[in-house]
Amino acid sequence: MTRKLGFISILLFIIYAVGMYYYIFHGNSGGIPDVLKGTVADPETFMTERELLLSEEYSKIKNFIFFVATPLEWVLYIFILLTGLSRIFEKWADFGVKWKVFKNGAYVFLLYLFTALAFYPLDFYRYYLSKNYGINTQNFSSWMRDYVIDFWINFGTTLIIVIVLYWLIQKSVKRWWIYAWLLTIPFAIFMMYIQPIVIDPLYNDFYPLKDKELEEKIISLAERANIPSDHVFEVNMAEKTNALNAYVTGIGENSRIVLWDTTLNSLTDEEILFIMAHEMGHYVEKHIYIGIALYIVSMLVGLWLIAKLMPWLISRFGTVLKINKMKDIHSLPLLLLIVSFLLFFSNPISNYISRYQETRADHYAMQLMNNPEAAVSTFQNLSKSGLSEVNPPLLVKLFRFSHPPMLERINKVAEFLEEEQ
């Protein structure tokens, strides 16, 4: 039965990977509708022939990696369970310490290290790919430094969650998911609060905007939007990437709007002000707080599903997966498998909500700025800098795009002008 389940898992993954390969590399791409060819939305009007070629190649490779990476993670978790590696890690973690919390912590470290090493070649290839296509400018030592920081931050977060989760399962097999959900609320808010001041500075330097003339323009724009302007920062990203970006982060007094220095160096003041107006739209419409509320609801649904699915899978396949009880720490790969599965298939929903919010922020920026030329040129420059697909295939849009494709964003400018006339 073990071999059969392993064989079926690998076979299904191969069939899926081949199917996705043909869909992405040989299927019908998004393309440009005939009615929009030659307009400002057509990448042929603002990208060179080489940029168009690189954009198509880079996007297809990235999309394929995305669609096979998560199912490959599922195969890895199944492998760890079927081969008994999870039970072996549990034995290695039992180094004579009586306190179970330390044994569980050691197990989590062994499992996390194993999975990190297993996926390192893919992570490195992503780095190599973005560097080869001129997106990433980071040298290997700097990338490895960030990779190690990522490892320890993610491990630390995972460790806290797993230790608390399995303690709750030990205390209440039936109601653990409710207690876990209640704890996720303050934990999520705490993480969002410390993100800008504790975690982000581990990777880059953040400082108030240096360009005082531009700062005055931003202050004036913020006053028109009734937004505090002392939370605008720039970050030194030029040593790591050629891409352009800006974002809103943090909550409460730690909330801030962050501009990459690549954005400041590459765009005109009017284009930067449009981006700032877009980020102000997120601020005004409370998208961060809406995001927290949606996260809380999704966690409730997700934990409830885990509480239903995991016991059923153990009762049905526990012998094959070498899991006796849900409360045993060696069941963690199964829990992670379910979480990964739920997250992957919830992507279309979360991305749809995100695209809606981004559209709202774009509309707010166009109303505040009333500068359609700046809006169009900003979207064009964002596409060029990241070699982005302006109109991706449907599955790619559903599963990958948290922002509307650039074709849609540029079209929204035209629709906005029609509304205003």
Confirm if 90 and 107 have CB atoms less than 8 A apart.
Answer: yes
DSSP at 95: S
Query: How many residues in total does the chain contain?
Result: 421
42 is catalytic: no
Going by C-alpha positions, the residue among 162, 1, 10, 14 that lies closest to residue 79 is 10
Q: What does the DSSP 8-state code read for residue 98?
A: S
Phi/psi at 369 (nearest 5 deg)?
-90, -40
Which of these, 407, 410, 409, 413, lies nearest to 55 by C-alpha position?
407
- Say which of 279, 285, 328, 419 is annotated catalytic: 279
Helix, strand or coil, per DSSP, at residue 27? coil
358 in a known ligand binding site: yes
Instruction: State yes or no: 278 annotated in a binding site.
Output: yes
Angle between helices 332-369 and 287-321 (to 10 degrees): 160
d(CA 311, CA 316): 9
The catalytic position among 362, 408, 415, 418 is 362
Q: What residue type is 250 in one-letter code?
A: G
Beta strands in 153-278 (DSSP E): 206-208, 232-235, 246-249, 256-260
At residue 240, the 3 state secondary structure works out as coil
Q: How far is CA 190 from CA 173, 185, 197, 277, 283, in A?
A: 27, 9, 12, 27, 19
Q: Is 401 helix (H, G, I), strand (E, B) or coil?
A: coil
The residues near 180 (Cβ < 8 Å, ≥ 6 apart) are 164, 165, 168, 303
Joined together, the tokens standing for residue 4 give: 């059969």
Closest alpha carbon to 100 in 155, 182, 162: 162
Residue 283: what residue type?
A: Y
Helix (H, G, I), strand (E, B) or coil at 205: coil
**Do the strands 232-235 and 246-249 form a parallel or antiparallel pair, or are they unpaired?**
unpaired
**For residue 197, what is the DSSP state?**
I
Strand order in the sheet with 246-249: 206-208, 232-235, 256-260, 246-249
Distance CA 60, CA 322 (A): 39
| 234 assigned to a ligand binding site | no
Q: Is 200 a catalytic residue?
A: no
> What does the angle CA 329 – CA 330 – CA 332 come to, to the nearest 5 degrees?
75
Query: Which residue ranges are tagged as binding site for Zn(2+)?
Result: 278, 282, 358
Q: Which residues are catalytically annotated?
A: 279, 362
